[in-house]
A and B are shown apart, each in its own frame.
Chain A
Amino acid sequence: MTPLAARPCAELRRSLAASIVGQEHVVTGLIVALLCRGHILLEGPPGVAKTFACRALAGSLDAAFKRIQFTPDLLPSDVLGSRVFDQRQSSFTTLLGPIFANVILADEINRAPAKVQAALLEAMQERQVTIGPQTYALPDPFIVMATMNPLDDAGTYALPLAQCDRFLMKVTVGYPTAEQELQIVQRCGGGDARGFSPVATLDDLRAWQRIARDVHVDERVRRYVVSIVAATRGSSPYVDHGAGPRAALALDAVARAQALLDGRAFVLPDDVRRAATGVLSHRMQFSDRAVADAVTPNDIIRDIVATVPPP
């Protein structure tokens, strides 16, 4: 089942796998987001290599990388940029903020207030930023990788659904196994964690994105995608709000990227089913009953997907 002669991103994947111990699904998620030109949200407890994974990806690409540490006192201008008065020239000039880079690491995104998160919306969706009267296009490619800690919720602001919807997918990062943890200690215990060297250029990345866009999706598989997203708006007692049409677009794109990473030029229903949890979980609002019954979002989505007959 390999109509593609060569699998793109193989070198990038190897480079990331060499840097990050375990967490294969995180590596896959990051590459999928790159291929889809999408933004990715990494959720997990502290110390599970969320930030490290993002830095590793940025370091493996020959791209401009900026890290923004989100804090409660962060202002939109700290992210986007601002207009300052130049006394010598007696005029206003624009200072572009750290968002003007190819790869942005928005660390602990839920620590910033709603105003800053709203400022990110235009950048993430339109890939442009408005500062004063002027609108500036962001560099291409432009990818936001955000991290979030679900445990320590003191002093955090819940991400609004509109903001969550802008993330192509959410990847949950868990603790490593004992064996992997030992490997991490052996590798990084002396403090000599290896640096990253670029293995792909931005032109490579753009070429991969074009190939991913051309992966064939059969009409019946497209209907399957739409049916799954529509089913999230069905009658599950655990769901308050289902996913919107942007989720269908994301599911279609992620399934295509998954197929490409598997060396296929066509999407299978399995690609869609595998992608569903990551694409849908952060776009839906779950009811209090789900919390009371201790049912996780992933379980709910798995049950919903299981009700939709594949082609």
Chain B
Amino acid sequence: MALGIAESLVFPLVALFGAGSLGAMIVVAAPHRHDCKVEILDRREPGVCSSPLFESDALTVLRRHHDRASIALVRSALWSALGAGRNDTLEDVLARPGASELGDVLVALERGAFTSDGDLHDALHAACSALERFGQ
């Protein structure tokens, strides 16, 4: 009878030991979870608008339509591509990843968007030149 009782206790004891060991492992491992590091393989800034398609399209629009609306169109497309928010200004956009190379283009487009009518032609020319330089 004593043997029967011992046999019946073997399984629960083994199960209890197993659960205890697992718990101990979790407790020991938990503080080290934050040490896990994710290796960043590619640290380059996202090249948002480096496609030749964008430059040629933008240049086509600006050269074909010498007006403020075309500048607004290109500016808006570029800002969207850079992920600019609704309440962002040029300063915010220039600080966005990927905008550093486009600085001259963004500044030239901003001039075109807000300058006087008398300066619009020069502003358009400056925006086209900036786009060409960016494309080279």
**Which residue numbers of A lie inside 8 Å of B, CB to CB?**
1, 3, 216, 218, 220-221, 264-270, 273, 306-311
The CA-CA distance from A1 to B107 in the complex, in Å, is: 7
Q: Quick one: which of B86, B91, B107, B116 has the most chain A CB within 10 A?
A: B116
Inter-chain pairs besides A265-B119, A307-B87, 12 sampled, C-beta below 8 Å: A3-B115, A3-B122, A264-B111, A265-B115, A266-B115, A268-B89, A268-B110, A269-B90, A269-B114, A309-B86, A309-B87, A310-B89
B128 at the interface (CB under 8 A from A): no
The answer to whether A273 and B115 touch across the interface, beta carbons within 8 angstroms, is: no
**Which residue numbers of B lie inside 8 Å of A, CB to CB?**
86-91, 107-108, 110-111, 113-116, 119, 122
CB distance from B120 to the nearest CB of A (A): 10
The answer to whether A270 and B116 touch across the interface, beta carbons within 8 angstroms, is: no
Contacts of B115 in A (CB 8 A): 3, 216, 218, 265-266
Number of A-B contacts (CB under 8 A): 49
The answer to whether B111 and A270 touch across the interface, beta carbons within 8 angstroms, is: no
Q: Main SS of the interface on chain B?
A: helix
With A3-B122, A266-B119 known as contacts, the answer to whether A310 contacts B88 (CB < 8 A) is yes
CB distance from A225 to the nearest CB of B (A): 13
The answer to whether A221 and B87 touch across the interface, beta carbons within 8 angstroms, is: no
The CA-CA distance from A266 to B90 in the complex, in Å, is: 14
Cβ contacts A to B, 6 pairs, < 8 Å: A3-B115, A3-B122, A264-B111, A266-B115, A268-B90, A309-B86
The CA-CA distance from A104 to B3 in the complex, in Å, is: 108
Contacts of A311 in B (CB 8 A): 113-114
The CA-CA distance from A267 to B114 in the complex, in Å, is: 7
The answer to whether B114 and A270 touch across the interface, beta carbons within 8 angstroms, is: no
